[in-house]
Amino acid sequence: MSRTAINDLVAVFAGTFGLALFAGLILVPAWNSYSRLWERLAATVLSLYVLAVLVGVGVVAALAAVYFWG
């Protein structure tokens, strides 16, 4: 197995595991906290927004680390 294939495999498993944790620890409790459908949908959208922001911050931090490392 090549180094690139191993990196891709680790990235896929880490992403899958991270999304499963997000769904189980953040999304499901947010969904179950409300009774009306529009409240549940709003909680889902806001949770996904927070996830997108956190991923964006992580990408920017990683790019900054790569930029300043070399």
User: Tens-of-pLDDT digits for all 70 residues of the chain?
Assistant: 899 999 999 999 999 999 999 999 999 999 999 999 999 999 999 999 999 999 999 999 999 999 999 7
Which H/E stretch holds residue 5?
A: helix 3-22
Q: What is the domain range of residue 40?
A: 3-69
Quote the number of domains for the chain: 1
* 0.75 exceeded by pTM: no
Token duo for residue 14 = 């880490």
Token duo for residue 49 = 């927004």
